[in-house]
Each structure stands twice: as structure tokens, then as C-alpha cells.
Amino acid sequence: MNRWAIVTNNFEKARAILQTIVTMCDKGTVIRTVYSKNEIFAELSDGTLIRWWRCSDSSRGMKCCKLWCDREIDQLIFENAIKPNYYGEKEDIIWI
């Protein structure tokens, strides 16, 4: 299963990005979406899971192969919590 992450502490930013991704998908590709105050995610028909990940010093992380990352995330948190769980190339990170 592919896991994609939207890493930001801003709920509205995460929701807007996921809505953009879902809108760009072909009809029937998106199986389920959830937009609640604590969780934002979409599940695609190929098994891909796109999830909002709020980061903090105590974050355990989430393994992912595609990443949208907020420029406002602290560099130390990026290096210690996000980067070790990201399996893509650093130049492929989409900075938001």
C-alpha cells in the first residue's frame, strides 16, 4: 500500500491540499474521504492512503513515499520525525 502524507499543523492547509488531490482524481478513484477536526484522509482505489500528519516534538512519524510538507515545520522536527519516515527523494518533497 502506498502512503502519502500531508505534513502541517494547519488544518485548513491540509484540507485544501487533500481536496485539490481528490478533485484531480478520475471518477471512481477515490473510495473514501474523511474531514474531521482530528483526522483528514482519503483512500484511493489502488490502495493509496493520503493522510494528514500533524507534527510535534513527540510525533512518532508515519512511513510515506510521497510528501507535502509545510515550510513552517521546525527543521529539527523535520530531521528527526519526518525525514526518517520518508522513502522518496528529498528533491521530490512538495513544500507548501
Task: Give me 6's grid cell.
Answer: 500531508
| pLDDT for position 1 | 66
Q: What is the dihedral of CA 36, 48, 7, 67, to 10 degrees?
A: -160
Write down the pTM of the prediction: 0.85
CB 1 within 8 A of CB 49: yes
Partners of 33 in the β-ladder: 42
In the three-class reduction of DSSP (H, G, I as helix; E, B as strand; rest coil), residue 77 is classed as helix
Which tens digit of pLDDT belongs to each residue from 14-67? 999 999 999 999 988 999 999 998 899 999 999 999 999 887 666 666 788 999
